[in-house]
Structure 1
Amino acid sequence: ETMHLSRWLLSLALLSMLAAASAQHSAGIADVASCANYAVPSLPQPALFLLSALSARQALKAARRGPPPPLRSILGSREESALVDEPPASRIQLAMRALALLTVFAPVLLLLPLALVLTPFRERLYFPLVTSALARAGTAFIKWGQWASVRPDMFPEALCAALTRLHSQAPTHSFDHSRCEVEKAVGMPLDAYFEAFERVPLASGSIAQVHRALLRGQQVVVKVRHPDVVKHIVQDFALMRQIADLSMRFRSTSWLNLQASVAQFSNTMVAQTRLDIEAEHIRRFRWNFHGWRDVTFPSIYLATRSVLIEAYEPGQLVSKFTLERTLRVPTSQAAPLSKKLSHFVVSRGEDIYLKMLLVDNLMHADLHPGNILLQMDPPNLALIDLGMVARLTTKESEAFVGLLNAIGAGDGAAAARCVLDFSAEQTSADIVGFEESMSAYFCSSCRGFGKNVLLGEVLRGVLLRVRRFRVAVDANYMTLVTNALCLEGMAAALLPSYNVMDAAQPLLEAHRRLPRVLFRASLPLAAGWKRLQDTLTLRSTRDEMKESRASPSARARPICDV
């Protein structure tokens, strides 16, 4: 069956390549069909003409799009300093900031010896105390805590669970500051530029807050950066780098590779403070998903370093529906999702994730249900909050796809080799012990495609062994893992019968067997094949869904439980 699928995918890829060539050389559809008939003689003549016409149309549309919008390079401290609109912190400023932080973290340091020996105290009292201290320490520490909350490979799961509270704690600033920044950006009084502007923020995050407004008859959202955010981030990361340098001198902490993680996290955070860089991300994602009629990203009206004006995207956050299903209590007045809409959200969400991974090498770094809006009629997914992205190298993409293929094959040894490639240096890792543990784990808990493999459970098992055997994992890989866990958790809440791994098999098989150029050319057809399989699976499992809902042992896995 797999060979049959691969043969047809290869045939479709050849058709796409022939159609692209015909589009560039103005060849007729009949010429394309004639070449396709030679390449794939088993296809009926009408099917050849239809596929050739569709492929040629796709190639012409791609050619008319032009080159992708540029993304500025953020590679290190020199590029980072060019992005920052604040001067470097002086020694006096760093000393004063260090003293203030020492006051905040003094209880955490004093109680550390007790937390090391008493597990109940550590999990019930100490970890919440750490969370509270991070919240009071400022933007960089809040963001670091949010990042650490999804790194169970590096930190205890109880600490990660406590740190998730930081996702909902966000500062706000005065309306006067928003007015001043917006008027500076647009070059005129607020009331003259907007027909209406809401004084109360629609939402607030650790970097900026959002106001709703009316511009030229269109609803927009205005994102305004908090005051002094950049200054505090510059000071805090200067201190974090010194702590990371100190940690590398001790064997017990050097395996964490805090220097690399702090450097990468610093670059990402600095880029996130620049709202014009977020606008660049949005424009690139809009280009990448051009032609996806049911996936949208906000249109950009204006972008400066501290202000971003973009189109208002209506809809309900998918997180509202996942929480309702998980907690079994209504969180909004919206009607529950139908099976068809649930299937659309889950399957299209997986399509988005796989395209970012397999084709674009640009991943939304916070792709959870709280950043996805569902518009009902017609069904559409809108992605928001694109300040943080993961730019993947070809090696990073291939290593993570290799892990997914190893999970699909039930091959623990291959999975271990892929995970060991998640960092260039594994100086502290117990490689032999890790490989043996992975092989044993896969033999008992991961049998491969078609064997009801739960991706989330397998990844959590892998992360447990990563931490136990001190395997280093770079930050981009953890972004991919975290997004995969969120996707699987969303599927478990909205459509328990949907298996993320089995649904991804057509695209993963095509990616593994075809050269990259052929895979890119055949992606629209391969994705169509996947959606057809999704639809057939939905129709064939309706009775199973009813039984799973009635059964007390129905799966109810947490959303983004990492």
Structure 2
Amino acid sequence: MDGIHSPLYRFYQQCTHSARGYNSFMAYNIKNGLSNNLKKVESKSANITGAHKGWTSLPISKISQAVSLALNRSYVIVPGLFSILYGGRVALARATPDMDFIHPRNTLYMHAQDGHAFFTGLVHSIFEGFVLLFRGIYLTILFTPSITMAPFADAFGPRFRKMWLEVVHRTLERAGPAFIKWGQWAATRPDLFSSDLCAQLSKLHTKAPEHSFSYTKKAIEKAFGRKISEIFDDFEETPVASGSIAQVHRASLKYRYHGREIKPIDVAVKVRHPGVGESIKRDFEIINMFAKMSKAIPALKWLRLDESVQQFAVFMMSQVDLAREASHLSRFIYNFRRWKDVSFPKPVYPLVHPAVLVETFEQGECVSHYVDGMQGNERLKSALAHIGTHALLKMLLVDNFMHADMHPGNILVRVPQSKSSRRRISKTKPHVIFLDVGMTAELSKNDRGNLLDFFKAVASRDGRSAAEATLRLSKNQNCPNPEAFIKDHVSLQISNHMI
């Protein structure tokens, strides 16, 4: 039998059905290509056996379960590769339906294909080389003014310094997402940078460059396969915030239940900036080249900048996939399910895509408003410090799943309303909302064990054990005298006991 009654088509239906609507808006992109091939193939060209009792009553083998899971979790890349590879298998089955499988590399056709792939790859590599060259020249020209002005920032008075700070801010904005992310990090390190520079760079937390609404509309409609007016009752064209990876719009989601319309839900629509993934990859290739060159300088070799850059690049690239962020949100929500004073936005399935993420809109003030912008109210600040510290320690020590991008722009504070604003601030307990969880970190089993040993040693005031755990935390530690380092910690422990 052909067409929709063939085992292949049932397998395709199983793959899309098992997602429970998770990627329903993406499924139609590969449906036509698959169904057209399937109509021309006999059922014996792909004999799928086995039974699957968990998801549905249709028979499905363990292999098809794995493929189905991959389809549900990969959204774009895996379905595309699946359709290409599957199309090749179908073509081979049509040509030789009763023959044994012949390795495709034994055919002249595949040799020609290999040659074509090699030539295409060579051309692409040359093109990428030129792109990196011009990108490097552009960044050099872009950073020259701020670097040239830096030595004279304090010498020419406060007006010149203010102008230099503005130049640094604008330079990082124009340099792209990797440098914006660095600026966001630098703004949270007043121990390393001056307070006025940190204040200037803090604008990058929520006011990074924005893309146009026309691109936002196009990205949403492409991701979900519907007009934006069919998904949302109301959509604010001006973003409420913009970061290094994406910008956020406020909208009202149309919601119907069994034919009845229910009050629209306020949601935050996170849309990825155009070309952000390619930009990050190229910038980190350039940065990594300079980091490797730094290993030749003895004064910089100990920093191991190449390792730091590679780790940071991995974290940055994980933020590009907004569908991954949705899975992180679900995991954090589960981990903090019993906490009443900490919460996270809830992803709105099936409106989840690598380029667009719809989540619940969370009300609140930026944490810096309460910590830096409000005089007094020590009780509220103490409560915020208590909640934040306990949440971080839970992520680090209990769950081993940490929010790795907790700058002030990603932390909201909600204080329950009260008749008296003064009483509302001073008497009620604040609620903390963590946003933008695309960048996360997990410790290896060895590192986590060392960290737990360190905290236990500190809690028990065991200086020797704390020093030994500290040395073990570094993979390539080159302490010239570890025993002296341990003795210093022991003496520090004794002096603390005396105090």
> Is TM-score (shorter-chain normalized) higher than 0.5?
yes
Residue identity opposite 2:412 in structure 1: I
TM-score normalized with structure 1 length:
0.54
Q: Confirm or deny that 1:180 pairs with 2:180.
A: no
Q: How far off its partner does 1:352 sit?
A: 1.8
Task: Determine if contact 2:395/2:401 at 8 Å carries over to the other structure.
Answer: yes
Provide Cα deviations, 1:190-249, integer angstroms capped at 9, x if missing partner: 122101011111111111111100012110000111122222111101101111111122
Provide Cα deviations, 1:479-531, integer angstroms capped at 9, x if missing partner: xxxxxxxxxxxxxxxxxxxxxxxxxxxxxxxxxxxxxxxxxxxxxxxxxxxxx
Q: Confirm or deny that 1:359 pairs with 2:406.
A: no
Task: Determine if contact 1:315/1:376 at 8 Å carries over to the other structure.
Answer: no
Query: What is the match of residue 101 of structure 1?
Result: 139
* 1:287-436 superposed matches below 5 A: 287-301=334-348, 302-325=351-374, 327=375, 339=379, 344-368=383-407, 370=409, 371-376=411-416, 380-427=431-478, 431=482, 434-435=485-486
* 1:465-480 superposed matches below 5 A: none
Structure 2 Cα separation of the partners of residues 441 and 127 of structure 1:
43
Query: What is the match of residue 167 of structure 1?
Result: 202
Task: Determine if contact 2:186/2:193 at 8 Å carries over to the other structure.
Answer: no
SS in 2 for 1:358: helix
Structure 2 Cα separation of the partners of residues 442 and 126 of structure 1:
48
Query: What is the match of residue 275 of structure 1?
Result: 322
Task: Determine if contact 2:371/2:381 at 8 Å carries over to the other structure.
Answer: no
Structure 2 Cα separation of the partners of residues 359 and 95 of structure 1:
46
Q: How far off its partner does 1:149 sit?
A: 5.4
Residue identity opposite 1:374 in structure 2: R
Question: Which region of structure 1 is more displaced relative to structure 2, 351-360 or 290-299?
Answer: 290-299
Consecutive unaligned residues in structure 1, runs of 5 or more: 1-69, 72-81, 329-335, 452-562
Bigger Cα Rg: 2
Q: How far off its partner does 1:427 sit?
A: 3.4
SS in 1 for 2:248: strand
Instruction: Note closer, same or farther for the CA distance 1:349–1:111 as it changes in structure 2 (3 Å cut).
Output: closer
Residue identity opposite 1:198 in structure 2: E
Root mean square deviation of aligned Cα: 3.9
Matched positions, count: 350
Higher relative contact order by CA 8 Å / sep ≥ 6: 1 or 2? 1
Structure 2 Cα separation of the partners of residues 379 and 110 of structure 1:
45
Provide Cα deviations, 1:514-558, integer angstroms capped at 9, x if missing partner: xxxxxxxxxxxxxxxxxxxxxxxxxxxxxxxxxxxxxxxxxxxxx
Query: What is the match of residue 251 of structure 2?
Result: 213
Structure 1 Cα separation of the partners of residues 199 and 477 of structure 2:
28
Structure 2 Cα separation of the partners of residues 168 and 440 of structure 1:
44
TM-score normalized with structure 2 length:
0.61
Q: How far off its partner does 1:157 sit?
A: 2.0
Task: Determine if contact 1:203/1:209 at 8 Å carries over to the other structure.
Answer: yes
Residue identity opposite 1:417 in structure 2: E
Task: Determine if contact 2:189/2:198 at 8 Å carries over to the other structure.
Answer: no
Q: Confirm or deny that 1:255 pairs with 2:302.
A: yes
* 1:491-530 superposed matches below 5 A: none
Provide Cα deviations, 1:288-346, integer angstroms capped at 9, x if missing partner: 22333443221111221111100112233333221244x55xxxxxxx68x4x666544
Q: How far off its partner does 1:382 sit?
A: 2.5
Task: Determine if contact 1:127/1:159 at 8 Å carries over to the other structure.
Answer: no
Instruction: Note closer, same or farther for the CA distance 1:159–1:244 as it changes in structure 2 (3 Å cut).
Output: farther
Instruction: Note closer, same or farther for the CA distance 1:111–1:209 as it changes in structure 2 (3 Å cut).
Output: closer
Q: Choose which of 241, 261, 277 in structure 2 pairs with 1:230.
A: 277
Residue identity opposite 2:292 in structure 1: D
Question: Which region of structure 1 is more displaced relative to structure 2, 366-375 or 312-321?
Answer: 366-375
Residue identity opposite 1:201 in structure 2: P
SS in 2 for 1:223: strand
Question: Which region of structure 1 is more displaced relative to structure 2, 408-417 or 212-221?
Answer: 408-417
Query: What is the match of residue 91 of structure 2?
Result: none
Query: What is the match of residue 105 of structure 2?
Result: none
Instruction: Note closer, same or farther for the CA distance 1:311–1:375 as it changes in structure 2 (3 Å cut).
Output: farther
Q: How far off its partner does 1:442 sit?
A: 5.5
Q: Choose which of 156, 177, 184 in structure 2 pairs with 1:146.
A: 184
Instruction: Note closer, same or farther for the CA distance 1:442–1:126 as it changes in structure 2 (3 Å cut).
Output: farther
Q: How far off its partner does 1:372 sit?
A: 3.5
Task: Determine if contact 1:241/1:262 at 8 Å carries over to the other structure.
Answer: yes
Task: Determine if contact 1:314/1:375 at 8 Å carries over to the other structure.
Answer: no
Instruction: Note closer, same or farther for the CA distance 1:150–1:321 as it changes in structure 2 (3 Å cut).
Output: closer
Residue identity opposite 1:396 in structure 2: D
Instruction: Note closer, same or farther for the CA distance 1:430–1:244 as it changes in structure 2 (3 Å cut).
Output: farther
Consecutive unaligned residues in structure 2, runs of 5 or more: 1-68, 71-80, 82-123, 256-263, 418-428
Residue identity opposite 2:321 in structure 1: R
